[in-house]
Structure 1
């Protein structure tokens, strides 16, 4: 059992939360989804969180027996957490909002969605805590969303790319010679997904890859990687499948680029690409450093 104040302080220090004035993404997305529905998020969430948009979001009772790890606060994840937790337990997530990203073989998504107030109230009423770590978990030098993928692929990091907040979200890596088909088979197994989103060329000799966990559907970043002789670009999302004007515009920009690339472009879903760090690096870190039980809350469907 640990104190929530001690856990929060250790997390803040390890991920250097206070070195980042505000998260570049969620400082925009949280007001964007909550203000139109007139939810007073500034008074509901912890004060420091409402300026930094990382860190302790909801503070429950003091003693933490279990830490639960998830990526998005989907209704299914929050119901699991509230049903399987004890007062004081902590939910550690990458995102403070759910993002419905869409399915390359199914429906397009709605983008960022607010957490229902009754679910937030349920968390508060039970004395539970929520801590989210977005940008700092993407660029940390020891534990990060992209590093976890490199480790599972047995890839050696050569350099960072994709500037993001106080660091870099992407990695250029080398790995043992493989093929597009072999990488796809490995990724489907690692991420427990039924299929990948694929564009570009199928290559029979791949030795250099780029890894960008989460939303990697940026043509500018792909061109930088290709200029560094990368043969496969692995990310959460190759395409934006959010059903709005911006999403459709980004999708078309990618389709204009696809015929001209020699890389294999492989998407494994936004959520699964970022859950890997939870079940590998973070699971081990919490177990090794704290007197708490560590529990994983995967989504029952990664493409959604």
Structure 2
């Protein structure tokens, strides 16, 4: 498929012209296309005329790019949910820029890079929270968690009665250790739970959950950070309102959207594959 046709299709299908995002903290070097430096979404590296295959990933980590380079293939697209790599075990800010040597090699191999963060978080067929709900076999009945005029969280019905049983179910699906903070009663209230994939530990989210009467919340990053006050305030609010919080890591709660994007590209007639990345229990 012609690369520009694919970029334009993604731009249109995910309505990027009407969504805001912010990656102003990135290193904007000469490899990055000018439009990304103002829009902070969509095409980042324009290295290909044709796209023969798409690799989807949650983060453009160095290990992910190395695996693509190791294929020795040309005319590829890396599609990612984030514009930067992620190290959850790093002290302080966990995101890092793709090294220049990798960008140079991607240019030589005609490997382009396209990113959707806020547009893929916005609730929809391929979105992060909806895809996680599907993976957990939950029925989405409503949405919540609005920021920058988009809603990114979902309210789901569940047949599970106890918080512990639901937490065990999440752990089995996710496939690694998760963390349940028992801040509330042991039973799930009204058979409903809330999901906001990724980094959902913000005070406004906790306040909305309390207003909705939800007592079980599943998100990715749940670690209280002394140096980032919103996370501390989040935990205070959920404790005060007896809302149980389940953390399943930033990566693992968002990867299902990138898995579902394989289907999106294949429906366009493009070969696609998901590249499994790395989760960090330090997120919890």
TM-score (norm 1): 0.84
**Does residue 1:287 correspond to 2:274, yes or no?**
no
Q: Which moved more, 1:209-218 or 1:166-175?
A: 166-175
Cα distance in 2, alignment partners of residues 63 and 29 from structure 1: 30
**Does residue 1:200 correspond to 2:196, yes or no?**
no
Cα distance in 2, alignment partners of residues 51 and 212 from structure 1: 27
Contact 1:15 1:140 in 2 (8 A): no
Contact 1:101 1:240 in 2 (8 A): no
Contact 2:47 2:107 in 1 (8 A): yes
Structure 2 residue runs without a partner (length 5+): none
Out of 44, 48, 54, the residue aligned to residue 35 of structure 2 is 48
Residue aligned with 1:131, SS: strand
Out of 84, 90, 113, the residue aligned to residue 130 of structure 1 is 113
1:166 deviates by 3.9
Contact 1:139 1:164 in 2 (8 A): no
Out of 182, 200, 222, the residue aligned to residue 216 of structure 1 is 200
* Aligned length in residues: 281
Cα distance in 2, alignment partners of residues 137 and 284 from structure 1: 14
Residue aligned with 1:299, SS: coil
Equivalent residue, structure 2, for 1:67? 54
Contact 1:197 1:238 in 2 (8 A): no
Cα distance in 1, alignment partners of residues 115 and 80 from structure 2: 5
Cα distance in 2, alignment partners of residues 116 and 240 from structure 1: 30
Q: If each structure's strand is expressed as a fraction of its own residues, which one has the higher value?
A: 1
Structure 1 residue runs without a partner (length 5+): 35-39
Contact 1:72 1:99 in 2 (8 A): yes
Q: Which moved more, 1:89-98 or 1:108-117?
A: 108-117
Cα distance in 2, alignment partners of residues 259 and 214 from structure 1: 20
Structure 1 residues 28-54: Cα deviation after superposition (integer angstroms, max 9, x where no partner): 332xxx2xxxxx52x321122111111
Equivalent residue, structure 2, for 1:191? 174
Cα distance in 2, alignment partners of residues 123 and 141 from structure 1: 31
1:297 deviates by 1.1
Q: 1:197/1:65 Cα in 2 relative to 1: closer, same or farther (>3 Å)? A: farther
Equivalent residue, structure 1, for 2:213? 229
CA RMSD of aligned residues (A): 2.2
Structure 1 residues 226-281: Cα deviation after superposition (integer angstroms, max 9, x where no partner): 2212121011112255xxx643x3443344335323222011101111111112x2
Q: 1:240/1:75 Cα in 2 relative to 1: closer, same or farther (>3 Å)? A: farther
Equivalent residue, structure 2, for 1:266? 246
